[in-house]
Amino acid sequence: MNIKVLGPGCMNCKTLERRTIEALAALNITATIDKVVEYSEISSYGIMRTPGLVIDGKVVVQGHVPSVENIKGIIQSSIQPTA
Amino acid sequence: MKELIQKNKLSVAILTLPLWILLYVSLEPLTHAIVYSLLSLPQNEHLTNAIYFFIFEVPKVLLLLTLIVFAVGIIRTYFSPEKTRSALEGKPLFVGNIMASLLGIVTPFCSCSAIPLFLGFVEAGIPLGVTFSFLIAAPMINEVAAVLLFGLFGWQTALLYVSTGLVIAISAGWVIGKLKMERYVEDWVYKIKADHIAVEEEESSFNTRIDRGIDAIKDVVGKVWIYIMLGIAVGAGVHGYVPENFMAGIMGKDVWWSVPLSVLIGVPMYSNAAGIIPIVQALLGKGASLGTALAFMMSVIGLSLPEMIILKKVLKIQLIAAFAGIVATGIIIVGYIFNFVY
């Protein structure tokens, strides 16, 4: 699983990264986490609000920082797409 | 019980309102009791006045702030940059400037999102001037500031602030568009191709909206309360100690350079809207004229050095200078008009 945290480094993006790491640990999933800080790359994902979370190429969060619980749910649904 | 609250958040929110009102109207009598009965402070002393001001204003401003931030947090859930962008696509120039400015007030916006938002707008083909109307309106017309002005000075002042802010955003954006400064946008901006379509919004049940309102309270009030207390402390000091009409010499209407000077001082200053208002209140109380005080406030919150540094990544210096210059000029003109009218 490849996760990207999109954001230039403000408080929100750091919190998002921290909570994502926590969520992954709680779910016992290993994933590579990349931080994308360059605006040119961030905007190639089509988001207009930071921070953003991308799992395996798909934007799953933009513009706010979900709780660790919510992030766990998001990670899980990206593994098993809902029918 | 928790289940009950979870399912009926709206009702709980509505029931809290009378409590808020009760607290709000008891502030004056409570402050009076604390200052004069409990602490037995001597009347008409500078220190007493300053303390009274502080004890009265802090809870009052915090209460107002909490209510408004909550309400606006909920209103904001109905808007998103994506919806704003779709609404603005293809609109003819002047109409676009007006819509962009209005939408700038309600679309959720934080300064770190300024760039992704700018890029998103450019990519959708929205004209540069229209994008600027949005970028000017968003920080300058702040709901927190509007409500604080309403609470401290009445609806006329609040309305003045919002309408002049809109006029500046619309005209400045339009002027920037007319100047055809597209070539001062960094080249790489026009080369972006978004590879992915971003995910659309989460489910919008009203309960979620209330959650967002509460998030907004935790976020805004949580960050801002200390600045409010500092601002009010400064205001209290001015209120208690600075003689009446002291400001009339520097910020009054008879001094023709008071408006441009205030704007010049305000530009490099950066304060959130909440913190600056108590200072504005104190200045007004000491003889600053309304136009000058408003000009000062708008230049502090509307033009911020941090924001321009961020914008440097996508705009060349000439465009940033033009942007700052045009907005500053607009604010100065507004300041003069109000000094003249009032």
**Assigned token pair, B111:** 């300064």
CB B150 within 8 A of CB B60: no
B85, B116, B123 ranked by CB distance to A39: nearest:
B116
Side chain identity at residue B31, one-letter code: T
Q: How many domains does chain B have?
A: 1
How far apart, in whole angstroms, are the C-alpha atoms of residue A15 and residue B322?
35
Kindly determine whether residue A40 and residue B194, on different chains, have CB atoms separated by under 8 Å: no
Q: Which amino acid is at A58?
A: K
Question: Is B198 inside a domain boundary?
Answer: no
* Residue B174 belongs to some domain of the structure: yes
The whole-number pLDDT of residue B130 equals 92
Q: How many CB atoms lie within 10 A of CB B50?
A: 18
- Specify whether the CB–CB gap between B112 and A46 falls below 8 A: no
> For chain B, what is the mean pLDDT?
82
DSSP A29: -
Kindly report, residue by residue over B188-209, the tens digit of the pLDDT: 887 776 655 555 555 567 888 8
C-beta of residue B108 within 8 angstroms of C-beta of residue B73: no
pLDDT in tens, B232-264: 787 778 777 777 677 767 777 777 888 888 888
In single-letter form, the type of residue at position A59 comes to V
Closest CA to B236 of B30, B29, B35: B35
| Size (chain A), residues | 83
* Chain A residues in contact with B123 (beta carbon < 8 A): 43
Find the DSSP H helices in chain B. 2-7, 9-32, 46-76, 81-88, 93-106, 114-123, 128-140, 143-153, 155-178, 206-216, 222-241, 246-251, 258-266, 273-285, 290-302, 305-311, 317-341
Within its chain, how far is the Cα of B39 from the centroid?
36
Q: State the residue range of the domain holding B98.
A: 2-192+207-341
Nearest CA-CA distance, residue A47 and chain B, Å: 6
pLDDT of residue B105 exceeding 60, the answer is: yes
Are B301 and B169 a contacting pair, CB within 8 Å?
no
Question: Is B61 contained in some domain?
Answer: yes
Q: State how far Cα B303 lies from the chain centre.
A: 11
Largest CA distance in chain B: 70
Better pLDDT: B111 or A69: A69
Cα A42 versus chain centre, distance: 12
CA–CA separation, B54 and B235 (whole Å): 8
Whether the model pTM is above 0.80 = no
- In this structure, what token pair is assigned to residue A11? 């408080």
Asked whether the beta carbons of A48 and B85 are under 8 A apart, the reply is: yes
Residues of B in contact with A8 (CB under 8 A): 112, 115
Cβ distance B116 to A50 less than 8 Å, yes or no, reads yes
Q: Which pLDDT belongs to residue B251?
A: 76
DSSP label at residue B315: B
- B28 burial class (0-12, 13-18, 19+ CB within 10 angstroms)? exposed
The verdict on a CB contact (< 8 Å) between B112 and A8 is: yes
Whether B244 maps to a domain, the answer reads yes
Structure-token pair, residue A16: 């998002």
* Contacts with B120 from chain A: Cβ below 8 Å: 43, 46-48
Which residues of B have a CB under 8 Å from any CB of A? 80-82, 85, 108, 110, 112-113, 115-117, 119-121, 123, 188, 192-199, 215, 313-314
Q: Can you list the domains of chain A with their CATH numbers?
A: 2-79 (3.40.30.10)
CA-nearest residue to B110 within chain A is A49
Is B224 part of any domain?
Answer: yes
CB A64 within 8 A of CB A6: no
Give every CB contact of residue B143 below 8 A, 6+ residues apart in sequence.
B68, B69, B72, B105
Whether the CB-CB separation of B169 and B141 falls below 8 Å is answered with yes
Confidence at residue B198, expressed as pLDDT on a 0 to 100 scale: 55
Residue with tokens 């979900």: A66
Domain for residue B35, yes or no? Answer: yes
Alpha-carbon distance B114 to nearest alpha carbon in chain A (angstroms): 8
- In a domain? residue B319: yes
Residue B121 maps to a domain: yes
CB A44 within 8 A of CB A74: no
- pLDDT (tens digit per residue) in B5-17: 677 778 888 888 8
Residue A47: closest CA among chain B residues belongs to which residue?
B198
| Residue ranges of chain A with per-residue pLDDT less than 50 | 83
Residue A54: closest CA among B197, B81, B82: B197
Within 8 A of B199 by CB-CB distance, chain A residues are 58-62
Chain A to chain B Cβ contacts (< 8 Å) = 74
- A48–B116 C-beta distance less than 8 A: yes
Q: How far is A9 from chain B (nearest CA, A)?
A: 9
Confidence of residue B167 (pLDDT cuts 50, 70, 90): very high
- Indicate yes or no: CB of B81 within 8 angstroms of CB of A8: no
Using an 8 Å CB-CB cutoff, list chain B residues near A59.
196, 198-199
Residue pLDDT, tens place only, B113-142: 778 888 888 888 889 999 999 989 988 888
What is the CA A11 to chain-centroid distance, rounded?
A: 15
Q: Which residues of B246-270 are buried (b: 16+ CB within 10 A; e: fewer)?
A: bbbebbbbeeeebbbbbbeebbeee
Q: How far apart are the first and last CA of chain A?
A: 20
Return the bridge partners of B149, or none: none
Q: Out of B80, B82, B120, whose CB is closest to A43?
A: B120
Minimal Cα–Cα distance from A73 to chain B, Å? 14
Which residue does chain A place closest to B186, by CA atoms? A40
Q: What per-residue confidence (pLDDT) applies to B76? A: 83
